[in-house]
Structure 1
């Protein structure tokens, strides 16, 4: 896969931005340079980096059925200031903070000239499979400290110096940082809620044990000292069911093995990811992607990057 397949700059990158929203540029770059946008498309995540003059980004109702509407936008501000309004709330985003917006909601935002902003787009489904409640994350902003600095540094390497293989490793690191930042924020919102703490523990049990083929709702309920009915109630109305979360976690792991371990057989991958049998892995991939694991592996090897959990 060539670097040109992964990175886009200049006018073609602005075209990608214009596809998402109504965009207007003004003011020139405070540092004396030109407006610049870079895009990097990974296996799980797409990164956008903007620097230059002020710009406004207005995503309205007629945009909300596009390919971006299944993503959460997660922003790191290196320099400058961004003001955004969504769902009737206005957020002022400053350096050292992170901000999140659901791309299935209208957004009206603008930056000041001289702003440098990196935005990661991650699919709702992937985040929900990791226990993140994306419903609460539209128009949110908070301090992220050293985690924010680390993610921005990794993004810098992807855009400026990393080879393709190195960029995919860095992508995995940024994804885990984002999941950790979002999960911590989600917990902070309901830190005194016993139900939320129990739900978080259930998610931890999935993360620690999804490769065990015997893991199911009954096992998790027993570990929590709760009934199966109570466990189901923890997740009702909050996105994927407990069974779907286990399945998606296994599928995401199998996906990474298919990509990163080309010598592993499909049967071995099925066992390592918790499916237990090649047939169960095959049925899951057919359900989620419409193709077999072998076909998925061939497509990835030839440049297709549509993740199973998107």
Structure 2
């Protein structure tokens, strides 16, 4: 693996390599274990262990390019409950092989195939030697693309279904640093469409086949499409009106409260969605080095009525108080920012 300082940045992204010394003096595995601690338990499989990771933000998605030798990543139930991740990952194997284990079983994923992982459920991956492109995708994007997202955990898309998405992701690797925020939003929309195309009709049958009901697929398609449209309209309204209540959202979207609640039920409910958008908005403001407003004023602008409630919710979501997050965000613009904090900022956006 090429050497490239453990805290180096590539364009707008981040980079970590166990080949480079860390400022804290940790060895490569200790440094990587700390970086990944927010997501999973990293396990060294043998003395050949080595990891190199580059990460780029794509609007609400994150694209990781990972070269791995002799490492496993484990998310047991206790960690799933503790860290609150609710997104999906698409693991595209470029080289080598990735073993993916879930409560339903284990699959070995080869080059050109994509493994799908629901981060709200336990899992384990192992790589003796592999290069993996990992795309972290908000749950809402997946729910809008497939009828039964609950059945995707551990599913593997074969090359013939994955080739358009995998080809596009490969093409982004060297081009990403040249794109600004607006262009990355467009790229994220393309990825969403290609992911939806790859997932269409791809949900595996993990249990015994149910008795035939030829009308059920059509009913499910209408129901899921309606719920996805409802969520999209609701999120647009929430982003424009951060102080909105569930009742106000239902009125603005033009549905009953029960319909709105059912649409958001798979991702934890509409109140949770509103709070998550408020917290994400506040986090974005606190990370801006040119934002000097008082935290109480920023919290109010983001829809919170109580600074103390906001602070508790923020710490529960991100592990830091708003003032601590602001301080770390400003330090992140220094060239010697600890890579652990930088990657934590990316992963926090997925919660």
Same fold by TM-score greater than 0.5: yes
Q: What do the CA deviations read for 1:158-210 (whole angstroms, capped 9, x no partner)?
A: 7xxx59xx899999888777766666777765785232222201211133222
Question: In structure 2, what is the equivalent of residue 39 of structure 1?
Answer: 53
1:199 has 2:227 as partner: yes
1:105 has 2:131 as partner: no
The structure 1 residue matched to 2:276, chosen from 242, 245, 248, is 248
Question: In structure 1, what is the equivalent of residue 45 of structure 2?
Answer: 23
Question: In structure 2, what is the equivalent of residue 3 of structure 1?
Answer: 7
In the superposition, relative to structure 1, how do residues 135 and 25 fare at CA in structure 2: closer, same or farther (>3 Å)? Answer: farther
Contact 1:131 1:203 in 2 (8 A): no
In the superposition, relative to structure 1, how do residues 178 and 135 fare at CA in structure 2: closer, same or farther (>3 Å)? Answer: farther
Instruction: Please report how far the alpha carbon of residue 299 of structure 1 lies from its aligned counterpart in structure 2 after TM superposition.
Output: 2.2
Q: What do the CA deviations read for 1:33-76 (whole angstroms, capped 9, x no partner)?
A: xx752134678858351167xx5747485995798884754312
Write the mapping of 1:178-197 to structure 2, written as runs, cut at 5 A. 193=220, 194-197=222-225
Write the mapping of 1:41-190 to structure 2, written as runs, cut at 5 A. 47=64, 49-50=66-67, 57=72, 59=74, 70=85, 72-102=88-118, 104-107=121-124, 109-110=126-127, 115-120=130-135, 127-128=138-139, 130=140, 132=142, 135-142=150-157, 143-156=161-174
**Count of residue pairs the alignment pairs up:** 283
Instruction: Please report how far the alpha carbon of residue 241 of structure 1 lies from its aligned counterpart in structure 2 after TM superposition.
Output: 0.9
In the superposition, relative to structure 1, how do residues 144 and 110 fare at CA in structure 2: closer, same or farther (>3 Å)? Answer: same
Q: What do the CA deviations read for 1:117-145 (whole angstroms, capped 9, x no partner)?
A: 233567xxxx34x4655744421233344
CA distance in 1 between counterparts of 2:83 and 2:47 reads 21
Contact 2:92 2:134 in 1 (8 A): yes
CA distance in 2 between counterparts of 1:79 and 1:209 reads 43
CA distance in 2 between counterparts of 1:298 and 1:58 reads 30
Instruction: Please report how far the alpha carbon of residue 249 of structure 1 lies from its aligned counterpart in structure 2 after TM superposition.
Output: 2.0
Instruction: Please report how far the alpha carbon of residue 228 of structure 1 lies from its aligned counterpart in structure 2 after TM superposition.
Output: 1.1
Question: In structure 2, what is the equivalent of residue 297 of structure 1?
Answer: 326
Question: In structure 2, what is the equivalent of residue 287 of structure 1?
Answer: 313
In the superposition, relative to structure 1, how do residues 296 and 36 fare at CA in structure 2: closer, same or farther (>3 Å)? Answer: closer
Instruction: Please report how far the alpha carbon of residue 281 of structure 1 lies from its aligned counterpart in structure 2 after TM superposition.
Output: 6.8
Question: In structure 2, what is the equivalent of residue 32 of structure 1?
Answer: none
